[in-house]
Amino acid sequence: MTRIAVMGAAGRMGKVLIEAVHQAQGVTLGAAIVSPSSSLVGADAGELAGVGKLGVSLKNSLDAAANDFDVLIDFTNPELTLANLQECVRLKKSMVIGTTGLSTEQKHTLDDQAKNTPVVFAPNMSVGINLLLDILHRAASVLQDGYDVEIIETHHRHKVDAPSGTALRLGEVVADAMDRNLEECAVYGRQGITGPRTAREIGFETIRAGDVVGDHTVLFASEGERIEITHKASSRMTFAKGAVRACAWLQGQSSGLYDMQDVLGLKE
């Protein structure tokens, strides 16, 4: 039985993760972590998440829960996530990371740390979006330079990073399939007299509004036709279930950096 710890247990995503762990087979909630200053320390994690008493008290640090979990799920923020990863390496624990907004340098740090413990890192844990990535690569490989590419993403008003990590991953997949460097061809929004679009650019449009969980569309357009590949998430539970699935998969894996494509067996 894989024992899972949830970081940021009092947050919106943390509560859904606790519920997802409670619903899943073959795993159990071993620990739930909140801010050291939180007034919720000591409360029952299940009652906080609305699933009933689970007998798991909220703790204020990973160290305090060191004997209670095998793998940590972290959907917090880049700085805290990297600090938690360093702690997981010290404690010899595995980690599933859904945090977005990491800089290139922070991703390099994550990659280095993952040499010392098994880590699944993905900007989107949804099974559907990861299947879409596989489909998208095939589509872009066929369409190539005859089609303009635009990526449109919509999230709730509280999201702090833009474009979303998922949108950037979609762009990376398209760029790879079309033999482009995303850092060189990405265009993030347009304003004013921009002139005609270049043939090889990949455009990103960001929308922040209301309580939208996450919508992503990749548009391929040429003279006379458009192809739109879209994924819409209506509940955070889809991300939580994917993260829990990744936790179960990690058990027995050797140290290294994995993604949801590995978890789902989509890599050739």
Q: Which residues are catalytic?
A: 155, 159
Report how many helices (DSSP H) and strands (DSSP E) the chain contains, helices first. 9, 12
Distance between CA 268 and CA 265 in Å, rounded?
Answer: 8
Question: Helix H segments across the chain?
Answer: 12-23, 45-49, 78-91, 104-113, 127-143, 165-177, 182-185, 237-250, 260-263
Place of tokens 């959907």: 75
Is the preceding omega at residue 163 within 30 degrees of 0, hence cis?
yes
Alpha-carbon radius of gyration of the chain = 20
